[in-house]
Every structure is written in structure tokens, then in C-alpha cells.
Structure 1
């Protein structure tokens, strides 16, 4: 016998109004779209249908079902131990990015979202999962270049694109040959991007990454956990780098200066609020002309992304008129 059924709000608090994942997961519909999810669905202690979020295979299969059901992705898979990200949060970042672009529309087109493949995005650290390009393309028709330092990630993302006819020709994957470079070696001469997006490695060491995983698992299980199991997976370059996210984002900002006129908005997720002080300092030093910090919320988790541009108002106006007019 289950304890008294838990009352749930109809919608998940905090998610963007256009996010397809605001309602609780409807496992009946998800299983209809992706039957392989069925073995992982069971009743939890409150009598609700759920999956074991402690299980990497269950989390991966849920993602497969979400991408198939909501975005029409026929094939999606990742190698073992690679990052299988929470889909609702990834979608949120992209919807807020669409708002960021919308705010620069001419007065006559206020509120219209720039759509179509002429809106070009660069995903730095696309990963084996290719999730940002998938959602950005399926929701807004944007075209993407995804970069990564890991050949296995690039091969996996390429396979996803090749096996989904709707993505072919919309997403291009590029291997970053130099691990110290972020934009150089990826952005080509004369190439322009409306957005760069990034989910940087946010831990400063393997030990810190492991401690973070243990905390997350304890929250899921509500009890003490000694052995970390990466339920969302993640290779070392996906989870940690020397100096953590502050050093990574600060270095990204420094390098973005070289490509000041190649991109309208550079952006990055910032996982920890204490990182912002150092990031703002780096932006001031680089000479960014406008900086925006956009807050997001997924359930109990508060997050944010930082956006910066080196374009002055006249350059921005010209950019919008010459690049976005055809899709509005």
C-alpha cells in the first residue's frame, strides 16, 4: 500500500513559458512514443509513475523518449559514461536565448522571434548528446555548429545528425584541434554567428566533481551515499577543468574579444552565483559594450547565463537588418 498520494502542481515552477516540459512527465505518452522506456517506469513511494533517477540507463532512456516525443528525434544515443543532460533545463536556456534575440528586433517587429536557418549558433562543447543543437533547431529552425575537443563526442553527435533526416544539413560538428582555443580553429574567416552558447565544466577538479555528484545523489535518495554513480554521466572534460567554471568562462571572454565582430551575442551558463564577480571583472577588462545576466529556475534549482556583446548600437542595428529580416 502506497502512502497518501502527493499533491503536485500542474506545471513545474520556474520553467520558461514556451518550454514543452512545464507539465509533469506523462509516461503513458512517452512510452507510446518510445516503448523501450516501459521497463524503467514504476510507481514511486507516493504512487506516482516515475523512473529511478539513480540509474544512468533509466535517465538516458527517458531522454531518448523526451527527444522522440517532443522533438521528433528518431535516433538518439550516447556512449557509456558520457553526459546525458536534463532536457527541460537545456530547453530553458534556448528559449531565453530566443528572447534575447527578440529584444533586438526593429520596433515594427517587436515580439517576433527570429526563426530559421539564417539564425546561426555556435555550441561550444556540444558533447556526445548534441542536445542544444537538436532543441534549438527543432524549436526555432536555427542552424548550428557544434564544437568539441573530444573526437568521441564529435563522432557521436555526427551519428545523431546523420540518423535524423530533419537534422541533416542543419547541424555541423567541428573538432577543436587545440584544447587551449575556444573560438580560434572553429570560427572561420568571414563566418558570423548570432549566438554562441556554452555549458562549461563547472568543477575545478575530479575530487570536486565527485563531491558534487555525491551531493546530487544524496538529494535524490534522501540518504547518505558513499559511492558515486554518475546518473547523468559525464567525461572529465564535461564536468571539470583546472580553475573550474570561473577560469573557463573568463578565458572564453578574453578569447571572444578576438572575434568581436563575428558574433552578436556570446553567452555561457554560470552554474555558481559566486562565479559572477570574477566573470564581470573579465568582461570589463575585455571591453564588452553590453552585458546581460539572465536568471532561470528549474524547480528548486536557480541558474543563470551571462550574455555579452562587443557590437555598438549602430552595428547591432545593421546586423539585425541584414541577417534576420528574411526569417521574421
Structure 2
């Protein structure tokens, strides 16, 4: 889930699905799921069969779609597919297309996943093309199984063209957009060697057929062919889009479009450990870059802050004891927290601080001690300090003489206390968010049991920045014992 926070903001899978609920609703999912020692339900993501079952159950649970995914075909990753569709929604809204939207899915695959999702979600009309006979047949079955023939029409492509075959017989064909998930590789060797050894291993198992993954010239040549054909049919499709699997190919394609003066924009599709890219261009009078600009803030990799927690006599190296103590400290600071992952001796929490409760702790303790001291020690009043009874009305605002005299205080003490309070408020407000919805600090907090217990803090976002997280870390270190 490393990149989930960068998903499209409307993607329902920013919050991971409830596997426990799925195991109750669907016996098929219960059969492939398993429970760890903490009772958490999970699946083996490296098992292609488990991935197929998960995807089928999510499609049924979240979209009421019955989809059959063949064992020898690609299992569509729903967060990625949704990211793409949501970006298309943004593009359509930007050019003020809201009704009777018509899309073209190039290479729709056995699941026809894009037309199915867009039809049930947005009531968009779709034409899906497919060159592989088996995938085409299965796609037709999936459309019919969900009674979506009214919205989705599938066309077999027996030519070497990508778009041109659609317009040979019908000059009336018009589309608001096209979308495509092209084959990424030019041959099997490129597929096997595509992943850098420096990257983490893939979390998911491998699925897909050679027809879906390999094409002559690879992804770059395939996308370049779409661009070449788009020039001929610039009046047939308002916005051309494609997914790009390799960032270096995206850079080349952006340069191709720029050199020809074609208006374009792009985006990132982030999910799990995988990043893909979306590329869009048009020949119409739309400045796509201005209407739907690329991601405004560059995604940065945040290195976690790691330090060793001081030993506690009551802790005895127990990560559970450390977790309970950590929860108590976060509660004192009014920092929201929830457990994201709990595996063996590693526990990860998501923490959100809405206000600065950790600064000026010494000053706050001094003020508290002084207040408690003032409450215990009676004051000695001089004659000038005495509050004299009012002979006409011996009550002030409903208070008795005694109550009124007890409210007197030393002015110098009040000035000092008020000055410190103001300074404290000023220091706190200096990092307060101007946007009430934006937290001061949003981070991952991880307890790791090795020889001793380590605390890892990874900054995600927040207007207080990494400095705010460092202050929280300092508070934890200062108060751990």
C-alpha cells in the first residue's frame, strides 16, 4: 500500500477492502483466504487463482458485476482501472462533456473491464475492440452476463491497424475519448528482464497471456502508432488517451507530441507498489495541460526517521507493551491513530495530528505547577489589595463578599502567566493549518522488534512538514520513560 495515498482522490480503494467482510459474503473468497495469529484475514497475492477470486468478489461487491476471468488471461487490477476511468472523468468534465458520453476501449480484453465499469458507474456508451479471438468471445459473454448490451458494443479487429478499422465503413462514428492499456513488451526476454533488481519484488503474482503483454516494437511503438493514426481521425475522437507502463517511454512520447505541437497532458496512476502513467492529447481547441494539469506536487520518497526506544523495566522487549504505551502517549497528545498492519513483531500505525499539542511542554508544566501551587497557598493581602464591602450593595454580580474577595490576585503574577500563555499560543499557532481540513502531520508510525524495539516514523504530508514530525518524535523520546 506504499503508493495508495497517491491514488485518485475519488478512488474507493484508497481505503483497502475489508477481507473479513468478503470472506463472510462469498464462500469462494473464504476458501482462498486465511487468518493470521491476530485474526486478520488475508490472501496469498502471489497466487494467480487468489487474485482472480479477489477481483471477481470485489467486482460483485462494489459494482454488482458478474465477471468471469479466464485462468490464462490477465487479471485486471481494479484500483489501477478505476484510476484511469476517474482521470477520464476529469478530462470529460474539463471539456464540459456530461451527457451521452461515448468511449472507445482499444484492446478491451477478456474481461472488458473498462466498458463494464464505466457502464455501471457512469452510464457511458462504449465500443470495445479486440484482436484475440478467445478474449473477444469471453468479453462478449461478460457483457451479456451483466445485460449491458445496451451500453457496450464489441468489435473484432482482424487488421493491423489500431483505430483505422473502425472508420472504414461508417463515417458517422464519433467518440468523446479513446482509452487503451497497451502490451508493454516487445518480446518474452524483455518481459522477464523489465524489472530492476534494485526494486522491491512484485507483491502480486504474474498473470496474462502473450497476446496481452507482448507486441511488435513494444509499448513505445504501439503508442506511436496510435498517435500516427490519431492524426487521420482527429475529428472522430475528441481526446485520445493511453496508459503507459514505463516512465522512460512516457518521456519519449511527451517529446514526440511536443515536437509536433500537439496539445497534451499526462498523469500518474499510483496503487500498491505499482506506478503507471496516463497520456492524453487532442487536436481540438482544448488546452489539456491547463484544464487537467499533471500532478502539481512531485511525488517524493520519504525516508523514515528511525531511533531506538529506551528500555522499560515493564516492557521486557514486548512490542505489545510498547504499543500500549505508544497509544497512551498519542492519546495524551490527541493524535488520531489506527493500526494498519500487525504482523508478528512489526506493527504499523497511521497517525494524524490536527493541532500542535506537543510544543512548549516545559512551559505548560511550569504553568500547571504554578496554578496548583497558587490554589494551595492562601494569599496575604495588603490593605490596598483588600476588597472592601460595598455598604450599599454587598454583592457583586450575584457573588458574596467572600467570593468576590477570593477572586483578587497579584497583578504581576497574572502578567507573567498571561505572557507565557500568549507565547505558548503563538508558538502553537505558528504551525497550525490555515486549511482546517489539512492535518498538521500525517505519518506512518512503526514499531519494529529486533534486538531491541525500534520506532520508525515516515512523514506522508501535513502543513507542519517533517519538522512537525521530528517534534513529535522528540516528545516521545523525552517522555518514554
Structure 1 residues 85-107: Cα deviation after superposition (integer angstroms, max 9, x where no partner) = 111111111001101111122xx
**Contact kept? 1:19, 1:95, Cα under 8 Å:** yes
Choose 1 or 2 for highest CA Rg. 2
1:168 aligns with 2:149: yes
Runs (5+) with no aligned partner, structure 1: 1-7, 106-112, 222-229, 315-328
2:166 to 174, 177, 186: 186
1:35 aligns with 2:15: no
1:145 to 117, 120, 127: 127
Q: Which structure ranks higher in relative contact order (CA pairs < 8 Å, sequence separation ≥ 6)?
A: 1
TM-score, reference length from structure 2: 0.55
Quote the residue 1:246 is aligned against: 220
Q: Go from structure 1 to structure 2 and tell me whether the alpha carbon gap of 1:238 and 1:44 turns closer, same or farther (over 3 Å shift).
A: farther
TM-score, reference length from structure 1: 0.79
Runs (5+) with no aligned partner, structure 2: 288-481
Structure 1 residues 70-120: Cα deviation after superposition (integer angstroms, max 9, x where no partner) = 1011x2112221011111111111001101111122xxxxxxx825xx201
Deviation at 1:46, TM superposition (A): 7.3
Q: Go from structure 1 to structure 2 and tell me whether the alpha carbon gap of 1:300 and 1:233 turns closer, same or farther (over 3 Å shift).
A: closer
Quote the residue 2:247 is aligned against: 273
1:299 aligns with 2:272: yes
Q: Go from structure 1 to structure 2 and tell me whether the alpha carbon gap of 1:154 and 1:33 turns closer, same or farther (over 3 Å shift).
A: farther
Quote the residue 1:55 is aligned against: 47
Distance 2:44 2:198 in 1: 14
Q: Go from structure 1 to structure 2 and tell me whether the alpha carbon gap of 1:149 and 1:161 turns closer, same or farther (over 3 Å shift).
A: same
Quote the residue 1:81 is aligned against: 72
Distance 1:309 1:231 in 2: 36
Quote the residue 1:318 is aligned against: none
Quote the residue 2:12 is aligned against: 20
Higher mean C-alpha deviation, range 41-50 or range 13-22: 41-50
Q: Go from structure 1 to structure 2 and tell me whether the alpha carbon gap of 1:248 and 1:88 turns closer, same or farther (over 3 Å shift).
A: same
1:91 aligns with 2:110: no
Deviation at 1:284, TM superposition (A): 4.4
Deviation at 1:236, TM superposition (A): 1.2
Higher mean C-alpha deviation, range 154-163 or range 29-38: 29-38
Deviation at 1:31, TM superposition (A): 3.2
**Contact kept? 1:63, 1:84, Cα under 8 Å:** yes
1:65 aligns with 2:57: yes
**Contact kept? 2:250, 2:277, Cα under 8 Å:** no
Secondary structure in structure 1 of the residue aligned to 2:205: coil
Distance 2:36 2:209 in 1: 30
Distance 1:286 1:189 in 2: 26
Q: CA RMSD in A?
A: 2.7
Aligned residues: 285
